[in-house]
Amino acid sequence: MSTGKLWRNARITTCDEEARILVQGALLTEGERITWVGEEPALPAELERRIAERIDLRGRWVTPGLVDCHTHLVFAGTRAAELAARLRGESYEDIARRGGGILTTVRATRAASESQLLEESAPRLESLLREGVTTVEIKSGYGLTLDDEAKMLRVARRLGALYPVTVRTTLLAAHAVPPEFAGRQDEYIDTIAREWLPRLHGDGLVDAVDIFCDRIAFTAAQAERLFTAAARLGIAVKMHAEQLANIGGTRLAARFGAHSCDHLERTDADDIAAMAAAGTVAVLLPVAYHVLGETVKPPVAALRAAGVPMAVATDCNPGSAPGASLLLALAFASRTFGLTPRELLDGVTRNAARALGVHTARGTLAPGIAADFAAWDVESTDELGYWVACNPCRLVVRAGAVTRRD
Protein backbone atom coordinates (compact mmCIF):
# COMPACT_ATOMS: atom_id res chain seq x y z
CA MET A 1 0.00 0.00 0.00
CA SER A 2 1.30 3.46 -0.91
CA THR A 3 1.92 5.66 2.13
CA GLY A 4 4.16 8.42 0.80
CA LYS A 5 3.35 12.13 0.85
CA LEU A 6 4.70 14.37 -1.90
CA TRP A 7 5.10 17.96 -0.72
CA ARG A 8 5.32 19.78 -4.03
CA ASN A 9 5.35 23.19 -5.73
CA ALA A 10 7.95 24.60 -3.36
CA ARG A 11 11.24 26.45 -3.43
CA ILE A 12 13.52 24.45 -1.16
CA THR A 13 16.83 25.16 0.54
CA THR A 14 18.26 21.89 1.81
CA CYS A 15 20.81 23.36 4.30
CA ASP A 16 22.98 20.26 3.89
CA GLU A 17 26.62 20.14 2.78
CA GLU A 18 25.57 20.79 -0.82
CA ALA A 19 23.29 23.70 0.21
CA ARG A 20 21.05 23.02 -2.79
CA ILE A 21 18.42 25.49 -3.92
CA LEU A 22 15.50 23.78 -5.68
CA VAL A 23 13.24 26.06 -7.70
CA GLN A 24 10.68 23.38 -8.59
CA GLY A 25 11.28 21.55 -5.37
CA ALA A 26 9.48 18.59 -3.87
CA LEU A 27 9.90 16.36 -0.82
CA LEU A 28 8.73 12.78 -0.55
CA THR A 29 8.13 11.65 3.03
CA GLU A 30 7.18 8.20 4.25
CA GLY A 31 6.25 7.98 7.89
CA GLU A 32 8.53 10.21 9.97
CA ARG A 33 11.43 10.37 7.47
CA ILE A 34 12.32 12.01 4.19
CA THR A 35 12.68 9.56 1.31
CA TRP A 36 13.62 11.91 -1.50
CA VAL A 37 14.32 15.64 -2.12
CA GLY A 38 14.80 17.21 -5.51
CA GLU A 39 13.35 19.02 -8.50
CA GLU A 40 9.86 17.61 -8.99
CA PRO A 41 10.29 16.71 -12.69
CA ALA A 42 13.23 14.49 -11.65
CA LEU A 43 11.19 12.35 -9.25
CA PRO A 44 12.03 8.70 -10.11
CA ALA A 45 9.15 6.62 -11.48
CA GLU A 46 9.58 3.94 -8.80
CA LEU A 47 9.01 6.59 -6.12
CA GLU A 48 6.03 8.05 -7.95
CA ARG A 49 4.21 4.78 -7.36
CA ARG A 50 4.64 5.14 -3.58
CA ILE A 51 2.76 8.44 -3.37
CA ALA A 52 -0.57 8.30 -1.56
CA GLU A 53 -1.08 12.06 -1.08
CA ARG A 54 0.12 15.24 -2.80
CA ILE A 55 0.31 18.50 -0.87
CA ASP A 56 0.63 21.78 -2.79
CA LEU A 57 2.92 24.23 -0.95
CA ARG A 58 1.92 27.11 -3.26
CA GLY A 59 5.43 28.09 -4.26
CA ARG A 60 6.51 28.93 -0.72
CA TRP A 61 10.07 28.60 0.51
CA VAL A 62 10.75 25.46 2.54
CA THR A 63 13.55 25.11 5.07
CA PRO A 64 14.37 22.44 7.61
CA GLY A 65 12.47 22.80 10.86
CA LEU A 66 14.30 25.35 12.97
CA VAL A 67 16.44 24.30 15.92
CA ASP A 68 16.69 26.46 19.05
CA CYS A 69 19.86 25.05 20.59
CA HIS A 70 20.09 27.12 23.79
CA THR A 71 17.11 27.85 26.03
CA HIS A 72 16.27 28.00 29.73
CA LEU A 73 12.52 28.09 29.05
CA VAL A 74 11.42 26.02 32.07
CA PHE A 75 11.27 28.41 35.03
CA ALA A 76 8.81 30.15 37.34
CA GLY A 77 8.23 33.86 37.89
CA THR A 78 9.88 36.84 36.21
CA ARG A 79 12.73 39.25 36.92
CA ALA A 80 11.04 42.41 35.67
CA ALA A 81 12.19 44.32 38.78
CA GLU A 82 15.80 43.63 37.83
CA LEU A 83 15.29 45.27 34.46
CA ALA A 84 14.32 48.43 36.31
CA ALA A 85 17.48 48.08 38.43
CA ARG A 86 19.64 47.80 35.32
CA LEU A 87 17.97 50.90 33.91
CA ARG A 88 19.03 52.68 37.09
CA GLY A 89 22.61 51.74 36.36
CA GLU A 90 23.16 48.43 38.18
CA SER A 91 25.01 45.78 36.19
CA TYR A 92 24.06 42.13 35.72
CA GLU A 93 27.04 41.20 37.90
CA ASP A 94 26.06 43.67 40.66
CA ILE A 95 22.57 42.18 40.82
CA ALA A 96 23.92 38.63 40.92
CA ARG A 97 26.39 39.42 43.71
CA ARG A 98 23.66 40.79 45.98
CA GLY A 99 21.65 37.58 45.68
CA GLY A 100 19.48 38.49 42.70
CA GLY A 101 19.77 37.31 39.14
CA ILE A 102 19.73 33.55 38.79
CA LEU A 103 19.03 33.05 42.50
CA THR A 104 15.82 35.09 42.21
CA THR A 105 14.52 32.57 39.69
CA VAL A 106 15.84 29.70 41.81
CA ARG A 107 13.61 30.76 44.69
CA ALA A 108 10.54 30.99 42.45
CA THR A 109 11.25 27.70 40.68
CA ARG A 110 11.82 25.80 43.90
CA ALA A 111 8.47 27.04 45.19
CA ALA A 112 6.58 25.95 42.06
CA SER A 113 5.01 22.53 41.61
CA GLU A 114 5.64 20.53 38.45
CA SER A 115 2.17 21.40 37.18
CA GLN A 116 2.81 25.11 37.80
CA LEU A 117 6.14 24.93 36.02
CA LEU A 118 4.53 23.18 33.07
CA GLU A 119 1.74 25.75 32.90
CA GLU A 120 4.15 28.71 32.98
CA SER A 121 6.63 27.21 30.53
CA ALA A 122 4.23 25.90 27.87
CA PRO A 123 3.39 29.33 26.35
CA ARG A 124 7.08 30.00 25.79
CA LEU A 125 7.44 26.73 23.91
CA GLU A 126 4.27 27.45 21.93
CA SER A 127 5.76 30.77 20.83
CA LEU A 128 8.79 28.98 19.39
CA LEU A 129 6.67 26.37 17.63
CA ARG A 130 4.68 29.08 15.85
CA GLU A 131 7.96 30.23 14.28
CA GLY A 132 8.83 26.88 12.73
CA VAL A 133 10.91 25.43 15.57
CA THR A 134 10.78 21.62 15.62
CA THR A 135 13.75 20.90 17.91
CA VAL A 136 14.61 22.72 21.13
CA GLU A 137 17.14 22.36 23.91
CA ILE A 138 15.87 22.99 27.47
CA LYS A 139 18.34 23.45 30.31
CA SER A 140 17.80 23.00 34.02
CA GLY A 141 19.71 25.29 36.39
CA TYR A 142 17.02 27.09 38.38
CA GLY A 143 16.56 24.33 40.96
CA LEU A 144 20.08 23.79 42.30
CA THR A 145 18.99 20.86 44.46
CA LEU A 146 18.76 17.30 43.23
CA ASP A 147 14.97 17.21 43.58
CA ASP A 148 14.41 20.60 41.96
CA GLU A 149 16.79 19.97 39.06
CA ALA A 150 14.99 16.66 38.48
CA LYS A 151 11.66 18.51 38.60
CA MET A 152 12.77 20.90 35.87
CA LEU A 153 14.09 18.11 33.67
CA ARG A 154 10.88 16.10 34.07
CA VAL A 155 8.88 19.14 32.98
CA ALA A 156 11.13 19.51 29.93
CA ARG A 157 10.57 15.87 29.01
CA ARG A 158 6.83 16.32 29.58
CA LEU A 159 6.76 19.28 27.19
CA GLY A 160 8.37 17.07 24.56
CA ALA A 161 5.64 14.48 25.09
CA LEU A 162 2.78 17.00 24.97
CA TYR A 163 3.93 19.09 21.99
CA PRO A 164 5.09 18.26 18.44
CA VAL A 165 8.74 19.03 19.12
CA THR A 166 11.96 17.17 19.82
CA VAL A 167 13.28 18.24 23.24
CA ARG A 168 16.91 17.77 24.23
CA THR A 169 17.56 18.20 27.95
CA THR A 170 20.72 19.65 29.45
CA LEU A 171 21.71 19.51 33.12
CA LEU A 172 22.91 22.98 34.14
CA ALA A 173 23.05 22.46 37.88
CA ALA A 174 26.39 24.33 37.71
CA HIS A 175 24.56 27.56 36.86
CA ALA A 176 25.13 29.31 40.19
CA VAL A 177 26.16 28.37 43.71
CA PRO A 178 23.00 27.72 45.76
CA PRO A 179 22.65 29.29 49.23
CA GLU A 180 23.12 25.89 50.87
CA PHE A 181 26.66 25.72 49.43
CA ALA A 182 27.67 29.36 49.90
CA GLY A 183 31.46 29.54 50.09
CA ARG A 184 31.77 25.86 49.12
CA GLN A 185 31.90 25.90 45.33
CA ASP A 186 34.21 22.90 45.04
CA GLU A 187 31.98 20.80 47.26
CA TYR A 188 28.96 21.77 45.19
CA ILE A 189 30.65 20.76 41.92
CA ASP A 190 31.72 17.46 43.44
CA THR A 191 28.15 16.81 44.64
CA ILE A 192 26.81 17.34 41.13
CA ALA A 193 29.53 15.19 39.57
CA ARG A 194 29.46 12.29 42.03
CA GLU A 195 25.81 12.16 43.08
CA TRP A 196 23.36 14.15 40.99
CA LEU A 197 24.67 13.47 37.50
CA PRO A 198 24.72 9.65 37.77
CA ARG A 199 21.28 9.66 39.38
CA LEU A 200 19.64 11.96 36.85
CA HIS A 201 21.33 10.24 33.92
CA GLY A 202 20.16 6.89 35.24
CA ASP A 203 16.61 8.24 35.35
CA GLY A 204 16.84 9.14 31.64
CA LEU A 205 16.62 12.89 32.22
CA VAL A 206 19.99 14.13 30.88
CA ASP A 207 21.13 14.40 27.26
CA ALA A 208 24.04 16.79 27.95
CA VAL A 209 25.84 18.63 30.75
CA ASP A 210 26.49 22.39 30.81
CA ILE A 211 28.32 24.75 33.18
CA PHE A 212 28.45 28.54 33.52
CA CYS A 213 32.23 29.10 33.43
CA ASP A 214 32.85 32.76 34.20
CA ARG A 215 34.12 35.09 36.90
CA ILE A 216 30.76 35.24 38.71
CA ALA A 217 30.18 31.49 38.39
CA PHE A 218 32.59 28.53 38.14
CA THR A 219 36.25 28.10 37.22
CA ALA A 220 37.74 26.11 34.37
CA ALA A 221 39.23 23.69 36.92
CA GLN A 222 35.77 23.06 38.36
CA ALA A 223 34.39 22.58 34.85
CA GLU A 224 37.10 20.00 34.21
CA ARG A 225 35.96 17.92 37.19
CA LEU A 226 32.36 18.03 36.04
CA PHE A 227 33.23 17.21 32.43
CA THR A 228 35.41 14.31 33.54
CA ALA A 229 32.42 12.86 35.39
CA ALA A 230 30.24 13.36 32.31
CA ALA A 231 32.80 11.65 30.10
CA ARG A 232 32.82 8.59 32.36
CA LEU A 233 29.07 8.31 31.80
CA GLY A 234 29.28 8.99 28.06
CA ILE A 235 27.35 12.27 28.33
CA ALA A 236 27.99 15.13 25.91
CA VAL A 237 29.14 18.49 27.30
CA LYS A 238 28.45 22.16 26.52
CA MET A 239 29.58 25.39 28.15
CA HIS A 240 28.47 28.96 28.88
CA ALA A 241 31.88 30.46 28.12
CA GLU A 242 33.64 33.82 27.94
CA GLN A 243 30.49 35.93 28.32
CA LEU A 244 31.76 38.34 31.00
CA ALA A 245 35.46 37.43 31.23
CA ASN A 246 37.94 35.02 29.66
CA ILE A 247 38.99 32.46 32.26
CA GLY A 248 39.99 29.60 29.95
CA GLY A 249 36.63 27.87 29.67
CA THR A 250 36.47 27.57 25.90
CA ARG A 251 39.83 25.83 25.58
CA LEU A 252 38.88 23.43 28.37
CA ALA A 253 35.54 22.67 26.72
CA ALA A 254 37.18 22.10 23.34
CA ARG A 255 39.61 19.66 24.95
CA PHE A 256 36.60 17.61 26.04
CA GLY A 257 35.08 17.75 22.54
CA ALA A 258 32.20 19.96 23.64
CA HIS A 259 29.25 20.12 21.28
CA SER A 260 29.15 23.89 21.77
CA CYS A 261 30.49 26.91 23.59
CA ASP A 262 27.88 29.62 24.03
CA HIS A 263 27.99 33.46 24.35
CA LEU A 264 31.75 33.92 23.58
CA GLU A 265 31.89 37.71 23.71
CA ARG A 266 35.42 37.58 25.14
CA THR A 267 36.80 34.64 23.19
CA ASP A 268 40.35 35.05 21.88
CA ALA A 269 42.36 33.61 18.99
CA ASP A 270 43.62 30.60 20.98
CA ASP A 271 40.05 29.75 21.99
CA ILE A 272 38.91 29.94 18.38
CA ALA A 273 41.73 27.69 17.20
CA ALA A 274 40.80 25.13 19.86
CA MET A 275 37.13 25.20 18.83
CA ALA A 276 38.03 24.79 15.16
CA ALA A 277 40.24 21.79 15.92
CA ALA A 278 37.57 20.16 18.08
CA GLY A 279 34.63 20.85 15.75
CA THR A 280 32.88 22.73 18.56
CA VAL A 281 29.99 25.00 17.53
CA ALA A 282 29.98 28.66 18.56
CA VAL A 283 26.46 29.47 19.76
CA LEU A 284 25.72 33.19 19.55
CA LEU A 285 23.04 34.69 21.80
CA PRO A 286 22.27 38.18 20.49
CA VAL A 287 19.14 38.77 22.60
CA ALA A 288 21.16 38.48 25.82
CA TYR A 289 23.81 40.75 24.30
CA HIS A 290 21.13 43.33 23.57
CA VAL A 291 19.27 43.09 26.90
CA LEU A 292 22.46 43.32 28.97
CA GLY A 293 23.68 46.32 26.99
CA GLU A 294 26.95 44.58 26.14
CA THR A 295 29.60 46.48 24.20
CA VAL A 296 32.02 43.64 23.38
CA LYS A 297 30.77 41.51 20.50
CA PRO A 298 31.62 37.86 19.80
CA PRO A 299 34.53 37.73 17.30
CA VAL A 300 32.37 36.69 14.36
CA ALA A 301 34.94 37.52 11.67
CA ALA A 302 37.60 35.43 13.41
CA LEU A 303 35.20 32.53 13.95
CA ARG A 304 34.24 32.70 10.28
CA ALA A 305 37.85 32.81 9.12
CA ALA A 306 38.73 29.78 11.26
CA GLY A 307 35.80 27.77 9.92
CA VAL A 308 34.10 27.45 13.30
CA PRO A 309 30.40 26.62 12.70
CA MET A 310 28.15 29.30 14.19
CA ALA A 311 24.64 28.80 15.56
CA VAL A 312 22.08 31.33 16.79
CA ALA A 313 19.68 30.69 19.68
CA THR A 314 17.14 32.56 21.80
CA ASP A 315 18.72 31.96 25.25
CA CYS A 316 15.09 32.21 26.45
CA ASN A 317 15.38 32.96 30.17
CA PRO A 318 13.82 35.32 32.73
CA GLY A 319 16.85 37.57 33.18
CA SER A 320 19.10 38.33 30.22
CA ALA A 321 16.84 37.09 27.41
CA PRO A 322 13.17 37.33 28.47
CA GLY A 323 11.58 36.22 25.24
CA ALA A 324 10.84 33.23 23.06
CA SER A 325 11.37 34.31 19.45
CA LEU A 326 14.07 32.68 17.36
CA LEU A 327 13.21 34.99 14.48
CA LEU A 328 13.97 37.99 16.69
CA ALA A 329 17.31 36.41 17.58
CA LEU A 330 18.04 36.11 13.85
CA ALA A 331 17.18 39.77 13.28
CA PHE A 332 19.53 40.81 16.09
CA ALA A 333 22.29 38.47 14.89
CA SER A 334 22.07 40.05 11.45
CA ARG A 335 22.08 43.66 12.53
CA THR A 336 24.31 43.48 15.61
CA PHE A 337 26.75 40.66 14.84
CA GLY A 338 26.85 40.98 11.05
CA LEU A 339 25.95 37.39 10.16
CA THR A 340 25.12 36.84 6.51
CA PRO A 341 21.73 35.44 5.44
CA ARG A 342 23.37 32.06 4.75
CA GLU A 343 25.02 32.04 8.17
CA LEU A 344 21.71 32.93 9.83
CA LEU A 345 19.86 30.07 8.18
CA ASP A 346 22.63 27.55 8.85
CA GLY A 347 22.74 28.90 12.40
CA VAL A 348 19.21 27.75 13.19
CA THR A 349 19.28 24.54 11.13
CA ARG A 350 22.38 22.44 10.45
CA ASN A 351 24.78 24.18 12.88
CA ALA A 352 22.21 24.38 15.66
CA ALA A 353 21.54 20.66 15.23
CA ARG A 354 25.29 20.04 15.47
CA ALA A 355 25.37 22.06 18.71
CA LEU A 356 22.93 19.51 20.13
CA GLY A 357 24.61 16.47 18.61
CA VAL A 358 21.55 15.62 16.49
CA HIS A 359 22.88 16.71 13.08
CA THR A 360 22.74 13.21 11.62
CA ALA A 361 18.97 13.16 12.13
CA ARG A 362 17.81 16.80 12.02
CA GLY A 363 18.66 20.24 10.71
CA THR A 364 18.84 19.45 6.98
CA LEU A 365 16.55 18.20 4.22
CA ALA A 366 17.94 14.94 2.86
CA PRO A 367 16.90 11.30 2.48
CA GLY A 368 16.86 9.49 5.80
CA ILE A 369 16.57 12.70 7.84
CA ALA A 370 13.55 13.40 10.03
CA ALA A 371 10.67 14.93 8.06
CA ASP A 372 10.77 18.21 9.98
CA PHE A 373 10.35 21.33 7.86
CA ALA A 374 8.68 24.73 7.66
CA ALA A 375 7.12 26.66 4.76
CA TRP A 376 7.54 30.43 4.63
CA ASP A 377 5.57 33.15 2.87
CA VAL A 378 8.66 35.08 1.73
CA GLU A 379 10.27 35.99 -1.57
CA SER A 380 13.67 34.87 -0.30
CA THR A 381 15.00 33.10 2.78
CA ASP A 382 17.05 36.28 3.36
CA GLU A 383 13.83 37.63 4.88
CA LEU A 384 14.17 35.30 7.88
CA GLY A 385 16.78 37.68 9.31
CA TYR A 386 15.12 40.78 7.89
CA TRP A 387 11.72 41.03 9.53
CA VAL A 388 11.44 42.24 13.13
CA ALA A 389 8.38 41.17 15.17
CA CYS A 390 6.84 39.56 12.10
CA ASN A 391 6.33 35.84 11.56
CA PRO A 392 6.05 34.66 7.95
CA CYS A 393 5.87 30.95 8.85
CA ARG A 394 2.76 29.41 7.25
CA LEU A 395 3.18 25.65 7.67
CA VAL A 396 5.12 23.43 10.06
CA VAL A 397 5.63 19.70 9.52
CA ARG A 398 7.20 17.58 12.19
CA ALA A 399 7.86 13.84 11.80
CA GLY A 400 5.92 13.93 8.52
CA ALA A 401 2.71 15.38 10.00
CA VAL A 402 1.35 18.92 9.78
CA THR A 403 1.51 20.53 13.21
CA ARG A 404 0.69 24.11 12.24
CA ARG A 405 -1.08 25.54 9.23
CA ASP A 406 -1.79 29.24 8.67
pLDDT tens, position by position, 59-90: 999 999 999 999 999 999 998 877 777 777 77
Return the closest-CA partner of residue 406 out of 379, 377, 367, 380: 377
* Averaged pLDDT of the chain: 96
Instruction: Spell out the residues 6+ positions from residue 121 whose beta carbon is closer than 8 angstroms to its own.
Output: 73, 74, 75, 155, 159
Residues 192-240 have pLDDT tens digits of 999 999 999 999 999 999 999 999 999 999 999 999 999 999 999 999 9
pLDDT at 335: 97
Return the closest-CA partner of residue 68 out of 349, 365, 298, 388: 349
Chain centre distance of CA 405: 23
pLDDT at 90: 72
pLDDT at 3: 87
End-to-end CA distance of the chain: 31
Tell me the percentage of the chain whose pLDDT exceeds 90. Answer: 91
| Position 362 confidence tier, pLDDT thresholds 50, 70, 90 | very high
Residues 14-65 have pLDDT tens digits of 999 999 999 999 999 999 999 999 999 999 999 999 999 999 999 999 999 9
pLDDT at 96: 67
Return the closest-CA partner of residue 229 out of 256, 261, 259, 203: 256
- Domains within the chain, CATH numbers bracketed: 4-64+364-405 (2.30.40.10), 66-355 (3.20.20.140)
DSSP character for 370?
A: B
pLDDT at 99: 67
Residues 262-300 have pLDDT tens digits of 999 999 999 999 999 999 999 999 999 999 999 999 999
Cα 288 from Cα 44, distance rounded (Å): 48
Secondary element (H or E) of residue 318: none
What is the model's pTM? 0.96
With contact defined as beta carbons under 8 Å apart, do 286 and 336 qualify? yes
Mean pLDDT of the 5-15 span: 98
Cα 57 from Cα 38, distance rounded (Å): 15
Phi, psi of 383 (to 5 degrees): -70, -15
Letter for the amino acid at 248?
G
Q: What is the full DSSP assignment across 299-322?
A: -HHHHHHHT--EEE-----SSS--
- Residue 98 in this model has a pLDDT that exceeds 90: no
Chain centre distance of CA 133: 10
Tell me the percentage of the chain whose pLDDT exceeds 70. Answer: 98
Secondary element (H or E) of residue 150: helix 146-162
- Residue 251 in this model has a pLDDT that exceeds 70: yes
Cα 248 from Cα 221, distance rounded (Å): 9
